[in-house]
Amino acid sequence: MVGGIPQATAELAWRVHPKGTDEMRVRDALGPLFADEDFMAGAFAGMYSERGQPGLSPALLAMVTVLQFLHRLSDRDAVAAMADRISWKYLLGLDIGAAGCDASVLCEFRARLAESGRADALFDVMIARLREAGLVRARGRARTDSTHVLGAVRVLNRIELVGESVRCALEEIAALSPGLLAGLLDAGWAERYGRRVELARLLGRGSSKSSADKLARQIAGDGAALLGAIDADPVARWMQMLPTVVLVREIWQQQVQADGKGGWRLKDADQLAPSAARIHSPHDPEVRYSTKGRGQDDDLEWVGAKVHLTESCDEDLPRLITDVHTTPATDPDVTATGPIQAKLTARDLPPAEHLMDAGYPSAENMTNAADAGIALIAPITARNGRNAKTGLFTPYDFEVDWQAGCARCPAGATSRSMRPDKRGLVTFAFSRRDCVPCDQRGTCTRAALPMVRRLTVPEQPVHQAVLAARADQDSEQWKTLYNKRAGIEGTISQAVRGPDLRHARYRGLAKTHTQNVFTAIAINIARLGAHYDKPTPPRRPTSVSTLCHNLGLTPV
């Protein structure tokens, strides 16, 4: 357990750091951040064997891991700092002569936390401490934004992907049952799979498209031969269940097909699985390829995950991160709005105002937030959707008269029918009499004649809520409030420059999320350290500034 601060540790810490450090100030203000009892129930049940005590206090390990991320250290450096740094010993309540622990303990601890939503439970514990201390509160103001996280894997092209997946399977089989491979391997396999698969090594720099295509066919054939050998040998059936073999089969389904001449080749690009399902590395099958931008050449492309950070931004309280939400890179921001608000509500921290950028709101999200008493402050843009992107009239260009059950188009025509559906949408259809001869048809619909324009909008309450939100966002008051959203960019910047939020240290979405949670707790510690520090004295004016002031050129 994390105990009180030994006197010798306290004396030395204050002698070495007379002004204190973030760790020391937080320890004095809030006490130990975690207790071993926190790790005994709920999501933590089963984290440790019920027989005997955990080897090291989980509360202590959690705090060491937070400090590790705060100072961006490796596991080895973190356990060394645990023995060396007096400010760490102060926070951890360690004796001055206490040694560190084996670095592998931190790795095992993280692996346990990555299971069964325990990382979120750990964050819940931290938030509960902050709420008890009055540092965060319900019905305040929150803001959210997302950023990319690069996976902890090499980015592979398609030939390297299939080749590397075969190599991983060969490595595992060669270690477990090399006999199966004896009939398959030859000098070509040794060259291709003896080391990691890289086009530059196998083809040399500046290789031609035809040589790359030949290699792709060769590797596709190798993988098919390997899977065929495993399936054909009744004694080797158990190998079908090996994770690397399962992965090869999955990658082959996504990437490879018979060429119709008895061989194999890579599929054409338009035959590939959607991005959300496509595997990009055998070393981390959960990383996904995504892009961010406006469809220009300078769009950001990455392979990895995405993280959404939410922080409180009440005027009278420190800005503290209150939620961390990690998703596959391909998940659009709009799908995160509901889960983030649900988690804030479960932590008893539902905001009264939630500031987000234009990627998060949708008609459904706005009404769900309103039902939960949350005002979703986000720009509603008409420039989404196929019609808007191609310059056609958007639903906001039409007037809906819910009482009369009809819609009026920009040309002044009235719809002839209104049909609600099970998806919660309502479709208004216009008549051929109006649409066929209409001189605005070119900016209204791309449907071929004599098809008519159909307008589909959400049901009345949702549609009206969206219209009201759009009307609000033209006011100066709304703009002033929305300007406060920009502060979350600084938080993401702090997390990127400090704990290196944008580079996953570990593989797999669960471990990446655990890293992101520790990053958020570390940022909170740094901010609380600053919050409990003495206020910084105002900057001394420059000589020129003083002179200008004395000459009456600048206001007092």
Q: Which residues bind ligand SF4 (CB under 6 A)?
A: 409-411, 413, 430, 434-435, 438, 440-441, 444-445, 453
CB nearer to ligand SF4: give 313 or 444.
Answer: 444
Cα(531)–Cα(542) distance, rounded to whole angstroms?
Answer: 27
The identity of residue 261, as a single letter, is: K
CB nearer to ligand SF4: give 435 or 522.
Answer: 435
CB of 527 to ligand SF4, least distance (A): 53
CB nearer to ligand SF4: give 131 or 408.
Answer: 408
What does DSSP assign to residue 116? T
CB of 158 to ligand SF4, least distance (A): 44
Cα(98)–Cα(91) distance, rounded to whole angstroms?
Answer: 13
Cα(127)–Cα(276) distance, rounded to whole angstroms?
Answer: 32
CB of 410 to ligand SF4, least distance (A): 5
Q: Apex CA 135: angle with CA 134 and CA 138, to 5°?
A: 75
Contact between 90 and 9 under an 8 Å Cβ cutoff? The reply is yes
CB nearer to ligand SF4: give 277 or 449.
Answer: 449
CB of 304 to ligand SF4, least distance (A): 43
Cα(347)–Cα(367) distance, rounded to whole angstroms?
Answer: 21
The identity of residue 424, as a single letter, is: G
CB nearer to ligand SF4: give 211 or 417.
Answer: 417
CB nearer to ligand SF4: give 227 or 409.
Answer: 409
b/e code 443-482 from CB counts within 10 Å (16+ = b): ebbeeeeeebbbbebbbeebbebbbebeeebeeeeeeebb
CB nearer to ligand SF4: give 131 or 441.
Answer: 441
User: Rounded to 5, what percent of the chain is helix, strand, coil?
Assistant: 50, 15, 40
How many other C-beta atoms are found inside a 10 Å radius of the C-beta of residue 260?
7
CB nearer to ligand SF4: give 39 or 430.
Answer: 430
CB of 463 to ligand SF4, least distance (A): 17
CB nearer to ligand SF4: give 137 or 454.
Answer: 454
The closest of 264, 170, 180 to 214, measured between CA atoms, is 264
Indicate the burial class of 523 (C-beta count within 10 angstroms; 0-12, 13-18, 19 or more).
Answer: buried
The closest of 47, 39, 48, 81 to 64, measured between CA atoms, is 81
b/e code 113-134 from CB counts within 10 Å (16+ = b): bbebebbbbbbbbbbebbbeee
CB of 397 to ligand SF4, least distance (A): 9
